[in-house]
Amino acid sequence: MIIGYARTSTLDQVAGFESQIRELKKAGCEKIYREQVSSVSSRNELQKAVDYAREGDVFIVTKLDRLARSTAGLMTIIDRLTAKGVRLKILNFGMDTHTPTGKLMLTVLGAVAQFEREVMLERQREGIAKAKAEGKFKGRKPISDKKVEQMSVLLAEGLLSKSEIAQKLNIGVATLYRYISRKKNSTGGI
């Protein structure tokens, strides 16, 4: 079976997503897994696709960065597929891990992709530091006092889980846990 995997980082990248699906179908993919999450997030559909693949199958992605952001992550995926007897193809490079040259090129390109990402993150950190020094960077906007009050009430009621409270208030779970931690530190409890 020929299995495809398509990923975009945001819901705004609809055109890029549709383009990947078209390319995967053109490459003969019989089953396509798709998701719209950051590469650093949990990628459930990727896991399902790799788990689904069987010996003799071909796993196809349109671009290397749709599959992994680090050499270590890429090698983990390749190792899992190889152990199952599954070939990996990357369309934009015309690369196939079925050949020794394909395996070598994939490893080298994975290292280059990781390097590019690290350089981009370094530049981002430098830009933020410069903006802070110039007083232009304020960070994230704090959550409103109203939401803090709602969090307190919902936590005290104890009827909803923390993730349900976060979802209800349209905040991240990490934000809720930071609030809880600060509250415990300042008062000795919630």
Shared domain check, 87 and 48: yes
pTM of the complete model: 0.58
Shared domain check, 98 and 7: yes
Q: Which of 15, 16, 51 is nearest to 33 (CA)?
A: 51
Alpha carbon dihedral 175, 177, 179, 184, in 10-degree steps, equals: -170
Going residue by residue through the chain, which has 190 residues, state the pLDDT in tens, using 9 for 90 and above. 999 999 987 655 667 788 999 999 999 999 999 998 776 678 899 999 999 999 999 999 999 888 887 777 888 888 899 899 999 999 988 888 888 888 788 778 778 877 888 888 899 999 989 988 998 887 777 788 888 888 888 888 888 888 888 888 888 888 888 888 887 777 655 5
Q: Would you say how long the chain is, in residues?
A: 190
In 3-state terms, what secondary structure has residue 89? strand
pLDDT at position 78 is 85
| Residue 12 within any structural domain of the chain | yes
| Residue 125 within any structural domain of the chain | no
Residues 6+ apart with CB under 8 A from 30: 1, 2, 3
pLDDT at position 188 is 57
CATH number at residue 55: 3.40.50.1390
pLDDT at position 160 is 86
Provide the annotated active-site residues. 9
Cβ–Cβ contacts within 10 Å for residue 33, how many? 21
Shared domain check, 107 and 158: no
Domain range for 8: 2-114
| Residue 126 within any structural domain of the chain | no
Rounded-to-integer distance, Cα 17 and Cα 98, Å: 27
Residues 6+ apart with CB under 8 A from 144: none
Q: Locate the DSSP E strands across the chain.
A: 2-8, 31-36, 58-61, 87-90, 95-96
Domains identified in the chain, total number: 2
pLDDT at position 60 is 96
